[in-house]
Chains A and B, each alone.
Chain A
Amino acid sequence: QKEVEQDPGPLSVPEGAIVSLNCTYSNSAFQYFMWYRQYSRKGPELLMYTYSSGNKEDGRFTAQVDKSSKYISLFIRDSQPSDSATYLCAMNPGNTPLVFGKGTRLSVIA
């Protein structure tokens, strides 16, 4: 079993839809959780950063962490064609290299 599991998709939604992206993990020591967005042929870009459990909101983006279920989510409200990208979850216990999921490819259709 990989440490971080993420459904690769692809996921296709109409413009304006609410998007839900998820990851599960097996290492209960993970405390720092991140979401990165990666456009084609570009490096990943940090989108959201959360420490431990709870929710964090930034504009149209909400990150949720449920440590009891070892499950994290990213919600995108009012999705736009410019949100079309690969979304990567990443996490670590702290002071060790980040472990990434495979990424979910998202297409938002106008």
Chain B
Amino acid sequence: DTGVSQDPRHKITKRGQNVTFRCDPISEHNRLYWYRQTLGQGPEFLTYFQNEAQLEKSRLLSDRFSAERPKGSFSTLEIQRTEQGDSAMYLCASSPDSEKLFFGSGTQLSVL
């Protein structure tokens, strides 16, 4: 399978714990995006990378969120001191340009 891979698929955590998600993009794509989606809403942009450089962060991305893309390959999204409002589907997408995004299946986070 050469699509975008996300791990884990599901994560249940207690409020206050830290969580980390991983995304492996399509290998020839140099752009990688993180979006968040809650029930009944469309995906909301969080941040994106071109190769290893983080080019833009949404104001939705509080200080508790950090993303990395070392060596321009896979990416990780970490949420520190999780809150119940962080419960959502976290979607990763990669792209050969800035328009056509190819999404993974997402990581469903539940904060209890």
Contact = CB atoms under 8 A, between A and B. Distances in A.
Interface of A: 4, 6, 8, 32, 34, 36, 41-46, 49, 88, 90, 92, 94-103
Contacts, number: 60
B43 A100 contact: yes
17 contacts: A8-B40, A32-B99, A34-B100, A44-B91, A46-B100, A49-B100, A88-B43, A92-B99, A95-B98, A97-B56, A98-B45, A98-B101, A100-B35, A100-B42, A100-B43, A103-B40, A103-B41
Interface residues of B, number: 24
B contact patch SS: loop
Contact of A49 (B33, B99, B106): B99
B42 A101 contact: yes
B105 interface: yes
B100 to A, nearest CB: 6
